[in-house]
Structure 1
Amino acid sequence: MAVGLTTTGRHAAEEEARAEVDVLNSRLEKTTQLTKKIEASLGRLEATGKSVREVAGPLNGETKKLQVLGHNIEAVLAAIERLRQPADSKNDEEQIIRVGPEKAGLPNYLNSIKRLNKALTEMKASNLRSTQQTMADLQRLIKSGTTQLENHFDKLLRTETPRSIEPLHFITKNKPFPVLSQDTTTRLGLINNFITGLNQQGAGATAPQDSSVARIYAEVRGPYLSATLLNSAAASVNTTKKKNPDAIYRAGTNGIGTYAQAMEGLFVAEYENICSIFLRDDWGPLFQSTCQAALAELSRTLRELNGHIKSHLNTDCYLAYEVVEIVSKLSDNLDTRTGELKASLAASLKPVRETAKWSLGELLDDTKRRVGNLQTLPMDGAPIPIVSETMQRLQTMVEFLRPISSIMISLGDGGWKSGAATRVGGGDAIPSLASFDIGADGKDIFAHYCTDTIDALLSSLDGRARAMQGRKPVVGVFIANSVTIVERMIRTSELAPLLEPRLGVVDQWRKKATSLYTETCKDVSMHLFDVIHTNRAQRPTSGQGAVDSASILKGLSSKDKENIKQKFTAFNTSFDDMVAKHKSYSMEREVRQMFARDIQQMLEPLYNRFWDRYHEVDKGKGKYVKYDKSSISAVFLSLY
């Protein structure tokens, strides 16, 4: 019974387990079927997704295009709405433009044109045909407004620009030249900036000097500059006329210095005006344009001065040197303060600067020509005016050593010699102020020029004197007088520190003059040389006490004594003739003393020796021996 129960229980458990397995198998089969369905669905979904992508891609692009178009339409509608506003308010803006900047007020007027210009810009961007008429109206209003701004600029500028001012008032009182008031420059600057901005938004920017307001500025201020400087320019020409046409030009007597001062003060003030009104890029070109007429007048004035200098080179060459320095300084000062006009001023100065360079060689050649053209020379050896005139020219040149030093450097050592100055190239470049510092080179070259001039003068005089005066003593006196005047004028002037170390050339000519003059002494001294031979026992030994003339004569033959008498007689005649001529010559004090000393040194020792030996030849009667030692010494002293 128990066994049966157990079997029955196990059987029930197995059935239950089998039932569970059947359930699991059933579920597994359903899962497998579901998996297959899912796989099939995924396959279909993937195929469908690909189709969707193929279809949705273009649709997405079109959608984006539609969005952009929508935005554009919205922007156009907004623009139309904005455009409708200025179109609606055009009458208000037109009213402001019509009354002009003076009545409407400059800030209000400028804002009105800004609004019109902004509206026009937006309408151009919309490119709507319906706005064409409004655009034309706006353009007309803007053009009218700009024209009135230019007219207002012109009026403001002319109101504060006098026809001219008197430069001397500001120069003599050391006052700065007047500039435009700050209020005016502020208003003019606002107008210029506004119109410049409009031009930049337009078809393209124009050159600074070609802009409308720049042209107006130059047209108004240019004549003011020219008119103000006109009298100074005229004075520079008029002051070349002297009461005495042959008078040497003196520094500062021409009006060119005042003219340059006026130009500098006026131009600097004008540059300040331009910098206060215009943009940085406009300053230089507009400054050049505004000053153009005044610079043209300067060029004309300098050409006139140059013509005068060339016609009066001997007396007015110094004006050329002064003009070179003054205009060069003006150029440097303006270049320092404005950075402009250097080339223009150099071109204006060029004719005078070339004349200044040419004058150095021309004056030296003229000295030679003048000496060569002399028809007569003083027969007493007196100096002639050309010597002092030449030295006076060199003395005057020292007063202009600064510009001459620079010219000398540009010519180079010896550049003044015939043809050299014309070969030296000279562009329009103007020397800077630094080149006018009197450096050693410039001074040395000028000193060389001076010694060349002196040597050429004395050489020409020597040649002319030999041809016209003939006799050597007269030529010697003439040259010695000239040398003395040259040296005196060096030592008593500013030439001294330059030329005293170079007086070798003068010393050489003094020696030549002395040699020529003392030729006569050699002829006179020939009578004091004896070739008489005495008995050696009777002849006194040199240096052994006093000479006994009587003893010497006792040892001479009658023929020798007669020869001694003739020598005394010939000496007396030639000596007296030499003394008479010496006193007849026209000599500078220094020359007379120099030649008297030379004669005494050459003849007195010889005569004293001869007298000591032979004065007893006429036994004190004075028939042959005219002079004793004391009397002939007195004659020598009378020559000084």
Structure 2
Amino acid sequence: MEDTFRALRIHDDEIPPFPQPLVYVPKPLGELFRIFDPRDAPLIGPPPVSHTWAARPKAVRPRATMSSVKNSKPYDEEDAEIQLLYAQARKYGEFVKKLEAARERINAIGASIEATAGPVNGLEIYRETQALRATNQNVNRVLEQLSIVQRPLEGKADEERIIQDGPERVGLTKYLASIRRLDSKCEELSTSTARVNQEAAEQLNLLAISGKNRLLAMWGDLLQADKLEPLQYITKGGSFPTFDRNTIAQLVEIYNFFSTSAALGGPSIDQAWSKYAKIRGAYLQSTLTNLSAATLSTSTQPSPNGPELYRQGNCLIGTYAEGMNLAFFAEWRNISEISPKNHQKTMENTAAESLMELKDTISQLNSQIQQNITTDCFLAYDILGAINEMAFSIDKQTGCLKQQIFAAVKPIRDTAKRSLGDLLEDIRRRISSMVFLPNDGAAIPFTDEVLTRLQAMTLYPLPLASILSSIGDGNWTSSSSNKSSSSLPTIRSHDTSSDSESLLARYVFDSIDNLLTNLESRSTTLHKNSRVTGVFMLNNIAVIDRMIRSSDLSQLLGNSSAMKQLEDKRKKYIAAYTEAWREAGFLLLDVQYTNRGQRPPSGSAASTNSAAIVKALNSKDKDAIKEKFKNFNVLFETLGAKHRELMPAMERDVRADLVRDIRAIIEPLYVRFWDRYHEVDKGKGKYIRYDKPSMSNQLASLA
């Protein structure tokens, strides 16, 4: 028995110590062998010398994050730590072998005790056997834990090699699979409280985050592109290029990975989209910057005669807007291919830099327009027309960016609204500042200038419809337009409906009426002659009518009451001019007394028998007839001479209209008077200077 217990003697550095008596004293095995629980055993380092197997406090190290990746140890230090783990694992293997040898010796001791003790100590042997079985189970658990300690770092070297090679060399699919495996191991180890598992999880997490950062860099490389020359696509009517199918496939695969790995540390999908907006936004801005510069350089056309009326198309704002439309739509297609949802915010962020440049360009153009509002206001209408059309087109295609575009052009829109009142005020101001008008009543060049402005307005129906709708009918004076609502254009205002056309027609006629009212007031002050004022106004109306009928103003005003009002004004001034001729016609009216004899029927031979009529007159009546002829001749010749003085300045239509009305007044009365009383002169020509043919010729010569 002593030899048997002597065989149990083992060194302290091999297994935990047990009582080792020199003589056999029967004791329960629970006192001989302390129950060993491997879950309380330290997992790293050799057993403590004090032989105390109480469990150490379990240290829990924090999991690696993005910041820990940036501050992680170099790879050489990581390799040293890994080698230390491998050395400790080998030491645990040797320890396992010793534990197995000890278990075999314990089993042998149990069999020897059972053989020597006999039936007398059977109960005590049973108890000691149960304790040995518990010890055996504890040893098995220790072995299991040791195998778990060795498991976390299995395959780390292969994953590390894949991460170091990068997705370009190993292939994107294989690279993503490696990162997913690392994430999976980190999730598995994070549930364990063992310090070695926590350290292994941290190392693997650092490696996974390093791989994700490299993946984000690849995402950025795929988004890179050289700037385009947009005119090559605009002039050919083509669309801007998008990503090829291979690039789209890789971007989609990376996008899907980031969308599902956000909770595992490393770059998120928001960071990926932020990188997209930054890279692609710079690409869009560099592509469109030349169009912005071209727009500014073509907005001003230097002229030796000072500012001239802006003509549609002189500025390349339309080309700029078309290029922006094509560029934004191509980028929208790229984003939609990568992600079928949640892409409006990305599109807005991507276009932000280009829209900021558009806003700067609009600001510079607005300053120029404000300096020459009466000539460059049409540039404002051109800009609004091009940009509004682009905004509605982009909104129809993408469902976003419309409000941002409208906000960029708001300064131009406010200036355009104010220009409508400024143009009316300019008419009043310039006419009131005129110190002289043509003495012959000729039309002034300013009338042609005003009508040229109104003709130019018909080229911008959409922007003017939007502006006039926001101002309101009749609220286009300078003061009211400045105070009017600055609401952005709507789809309702972006049309050429009858309501919009009627608003523009009313504004055009208000401009014409304002022009004529101020011209008449100024002519009355300077000419001080109703006859000259009438010819002056008729000449200007003739210019207005001709310019209306020779342009799109005829379609704009044709269905409105404007033309009728203009015709009423023309008739008014014709009546004012022919008033003096009516006085001459009154001299050809005679008095017939029906009580002095039977009045011959009108149109009968007796009514035109001048000899009989004159013979029937007394001397006083004959003298009165002679005086009428004499006064008529003087007045007719005076009016004819004054008319001929003004004829060179008269517009052709004015001369024709005036002569037609003069003949309608004079010729019927003169023919009748001559037929009745020409015998009073007896053909001497003393009182009657014109017979019927010569009077007709005289009247015709007035034209």
Give, in whole Å, the separation in 2 of the partners of 1:566 and 1:558.
Answer: 12
Q: Do the aligned partners of 2:471 and 2:485 also contact (CA within 8 Å) in 1?
A: no
Q: Could you tell me which of 501, 504, 514 is aligned with 2:564? A: 504
In structure 2, what is the equivalent of residue 94 of structure 1? 160
Give, in angstroms, the shift of residue 249 of structure 1.
3.0
> Match of 2:215?
149
Q: In the aligned structure 1, how far is the partner of 2:154 from the partner of 2:361?
A: 62
After TM superposition, the runs of 4+ consecutive aligned structure 1 residues lying more than 6 A away are 73-80, 532-535
Three-state SS of the structure 2 residue aligned to 1:134 is helix
Matched, 1:341 2:401: yes
Does 2:196 correspond to 1:130? yes
Checking the alignment, whether the CA contact within 8 Å between 2:441 and 2:535 is kept in structure 1 is yes
C-alpha displacement at 1:596, in angstroms?
Answer: 0.8
Where does residue 627 of structure 1 map in the other structure? Answer: 690
The offset of 1:332, in angstroms, is 1.8
Q: Is the CA contact 1:260–1:330 (under 8 Å) kept in the aligned structure 2? A: yes
Give the C-alpha shift of residue 506 in structure 1. Answer: 0.9
- 1:248-263 to structure 2, matched below 5 A, reads 248-263=309-324
Q: Return the alpha-carbon distance in structure 1 between the equivalents of residues 453 and 664 of structure 2.
A: 37
Counterparts of residues 352-501 of structure 1 (less than 5 Å):
352-427=412-487, 429-432=488-491, 435-501=493-559
1:212 pairs with 2:275: no
Q: Report the alpha carbon displacement of residue 76 of structure 1 after superposing the two structures with TM.
A: 12
Contact 2:335 2:347 in 1 (8 A): yes
Say whether the 8 Å CA contact 2:391–2:401 is kept in structure 1.
yes
User: Secondary structure at the residue paired with 1:413?
Assistant: coil
Change (3 A) 1:465 1:78: farther
Q: Separation in 1 of the partners of 2:148 and 2:168?
A: 30
**Equivalent residue letter for 1:169:** Q
Query: Structure 2: 5+ residue runs without aligned partners?
Result: 1-138
When residues 115 and 78 of structure 1 are mapped into structure 2, their CA distance, relative to the original with a 3 A threshold, is farther
Give the corresponding residue for 2:30.
none
Structure 2 vs 1, CA of residues 190 and 541 (structure 1 numbering), >3 Å: closer, same or farther? closer
Q: Structure 1: how far apart are the matches of 2:335 and 2:146?
A: 43
Q: Deviations over 1:552-588 (max 9, x none)?
A: 4455555554444443332222211111111121211
Q: Note closer, same or farther for the CA distance 1:535–1:293 as it changes in structure 2 (3 Å cut).
A: same
Q: Tell me what 2:107 maps to.
A: none
Range with bigger deviation, 229-238 or 103-112: 103-112
Task: Give the counterpart letter for 1:475 in structure 2.
Answer: T
Change in CA separation of 1:343 and 1:134 when aligned onto 2, cut-off 3 Å: same
Counterpart mapping for 1:543-582 below 5 A:
543-545=603-605, 546-554=607-615, 558=619, 560-582=621-643
Q: CA deviation at 1:529?
A: 3.9
Q: Distance in 2 between matches of 1:402 and 1:285?
A: 30
Q: Secondary structure at the match of 1:113?
A: helix
1:303-342 deviations in Å (ceiling 9; x for gaps): 2222333333333333322322221221122122222211
Q: 1:221-370 alignment to 2 at 5 Å? A: 221-244=280-303, 246-278=307-339, 280-281=341-342, 283-370=343-430
Superposed displacement of residue 513, structure 1: 0.6
| Matched ranges for 1:508-523 at <5 A | 508-523=568-583
For residues 77 and 185 of structure 1, do their structure 2 counterparts lie closer, same or farther at Cα, with a shift above 3 Å needed?
farther
* Shift in CA distance, 355/78, structure 1 to aligned 2, threshold 3 Å: farther
AA of the residue aligned to 1:184: T
Matching residue of 1:185: 248
Alignment of 1:17-56 (within 5 A): none
Distance 2:577 2:502 in 1: 34
Summarize the alignment of residues 583-602 of structure 1 with structure 2, pairs less than 5 Å apart.
583-585=644-646, 586-602=649-665
Q: Which residue of 2 aligns with 1:140?
A: 206
Structure 1 residue 638 displacement after superposition:
1.1
What's the offset of the Cα at 1:461? 1.2
Partner residue, 2:187: 121
Q: In the superposition, relative to structure 1, how do residues 538 and 195 fare at CA in structure 2: closer, same or farther (>3 Å)?
A: closer
Q: TM-score, normalized by length of structure 2?
A: 0.73
Contact 2:420 2:478 in 1 (8 A): no
8 Å Cα contact 1:550-1:616 kept in structure 2: yes
Cα separation, 2, equivalents of 1:157 and 1:443: 47
CA distance in 1, matches of 2:391, 2:637: 69
Aligned residues of 1:534 and 1:555 also touching (Cα < 8 A):
no
The count of aligned residue pairs is 558
Percent sequence identity over aligned pairs: 40
Given the superposition, is the C-alpha separation of residues 80 and 483 from structure 1 closer, same or farther in structure 2, using an over 3 Å criterion?
A: farther
Report the counterpart of residue 669 of structure 2 in structure 1. 606
Partners of 2:584 and 2:632 within 8 A in 1: yes
Distance 2:143 2:397 in 1: 57
2:278 partner letter: E
* Cα offsets for 1:186-242 (capped at 9, x unmatched): 223323332333323459x97x6xx32223222222111111101111111111122
Q: Distance in 2 between matches of 1:551 and 1:176?
A: 96
Cα distance in 2, alignment partners of residues 408 and 75 from structure 1: 88
Unaligned runs of 5+ in 1: 1-72
How far did residue 167 of structure 1 move?
0.6
Q: Distance in 2 between matches of 1:315 and 1:468?
A: 28
In 2 relative to 1, CA 598–75 (structure 1 residues): closer, same or farther, beyond 3 Å? farther
RMSD value over aligned CA atoms? Answer: 2.9
2:679 aligned with 1:616, yes or no?
yes
For 1:91, give the aligned amino acid.
A
Contact 1:94 1:141 in 2 (8 A): yes
Deviation at 1:628? 1.9
TM-superposed CA distance for 1:289, in Å, is: 1.2
Q: Structure 1 pair 151/475, CA: closer, same or farther in 2 (3 Å)?
A: same
- Conserved in 2, the CA contact under 8 Å of 1:357 and 1:407? yes
Distance 1:492 1:79 in 2: 100
Contact 2:288 2:320 in 1 (8 A): yes
The one-letter amino acid paired with 2:425 is D
In the TM superposition, residue 550 of structure 1 has moved relative to its aligned partner by 4.5
TM-score (norm 1): 0.80
**Aligned AA (1:250):** R
Shift of 1:377: 0.9
Shift of 1:413: 2.2
Alignment partner, residue 25 of structure 1: none
What residue is the counterpart of 1:46 in the other structure?
A: none
* 2: CA distance, partners of 1:231 / 1:491: 41
State the one-letter code of the partner of 2:257. F
Cα distance between partner residues in 1 of 2:189 and 2:149: 7
Instruction: Choose 482-491 or 580-589, whichever is displaced more.
Output: 482-491
Listed one character per residue, the Cα deviations across residues 510-550 of structure 1 (whole Å, up to 9, x for unaligned) are 12111210121133234334569798239766544244444
Is the contact between residue 222 and residue 247 of structure 2 (CA under 8 Å) also seen in structure 1? yes
Structure number having the greater helix percentage:
1
Q: Which amino acid aligns with 2:338?
A: I
